Amino acid sequence: MNMLWGGTLQGEERSRVGAEFRHVIGELVELIGKPNVSDLFPALRWFDIQGIERQTKKIFTWLDRIFNSVIEQRMKMDEENQARTCKNKESSSKDFLQFLLELIKQGDAKTQITMTQLKALLMDTVVAGTDTTSTSIEWVMTEMMAHPEIMRKVQEELEEVVGMNKMVEESHLPKLHYLDAVVKETLRLHPPGPLLLPHSPSSTCTVGGYTVPKGAIVFFNAWAMHRAPEEWDDPLDFRPERFLIISHDLKKYDYKGNNFNYLPFGSGRRICAGVNLAERMLTYVLASFLHSFEWGLPEGTKLDLMEKYGFSLKKATPLVAIPTPRLLNLELYN
């Protein structure tokens, strides 16, 4: 919410809208991940047998009301701020919603967007950027708790780069090479979107001896590609070092989708638009978690690595972990 519309809402209203917003987005993400019989038999779509279309319309109505309320507040704030000097305007930080509203006001045919498109962009950012990121963080923490020796290596790197008397800052991230390898290895085994986004060829083509007709819906099984024994040594082993060995080969396996063996965020023009933000958020949050705390399981519990398919590849059982402060200066936690 901070990234989307910053301080547009304040106090109790911010808490109320935030709670409602999280609830609605949670329901939407769960709904998107449900198997839909109409995908297999399009003729059944009109009957809405599972009630998915009805539920979707209900959720979109909720979201539209929330967005309208926030947009109205932001436009009112912008009108009140017009009295400020240009210097103050330039020095103030802007949130995503403010930039989008400025595009609407500009009137430039090349960049102008409609209010409906603005709401769609807000929703895409939330749905694609929150659930997948939090799921990936959970998987990285799970894999490291399953491999404590790897967690210890990450913490040793953090001690060397950051120090035990400081908190992690964004400037530290480019130096955390081993943590970067851990994240990449986790996304290899547990890609946030296991089937990526559906594609459709504009003309009939042949791929690997198979004819793909024009207009067909095509999915890429990134989950299977990332575990293919023909492409990866010991593909089921969690081994971050595999990404350190090739790190000098012009970053052969980055997040840009240039190598079709590794596509956690897709590839080409339809690659995840937030890939750069997701990369930095993942690394920063994980670095902060691992540098600031030791992590353990509640007494009597076991770590579960089973997967549950949905819009994103979630854990079948949510991770429950207990943090213990590890920094020397306890005042850093205030």
For 94-138, write each residue's pLDDT tens digit.
Answer: 788 888 888 888 767 677 788 999 998 888 887 777 778 899 999
Q: Is 272 annotated as a binding residue?
A: yes
The CATH class, in words, for 130-333 is: mainly alpha
pLDDT surpasses 70 at 91: no
- Of 242, 229, 266, 141, residue with least CA distance to 185: 242
Query: Rounded to whole angstroms, how far apart are CA atoms 310 and 317?
Result: 13
**Domain spans in the chain, listed from the N-terminal domain onward:** 1-83+93-113, 130-333
Return the pLDDT at 58.
93
Query: What residues contact 293, with CB distance under 8 A and at least 6 apart?
Result: 323, 324, 325, 326
pLDDT surpasses 50 at 250: no
For 259-311, write each residue's pLDDT tens digit.
Answer: 889 999 999 888 888 898 889 999 999 999 999 999 999 999 999 999 987 77
pLDDT surpasses 70 at 87: no
- Dump the DSSP string for 115-165: HHHHHHHHHHHHHHHHHHHHHHHHHHHHHHHH-HHHHHHHHHHHHHHT-TT
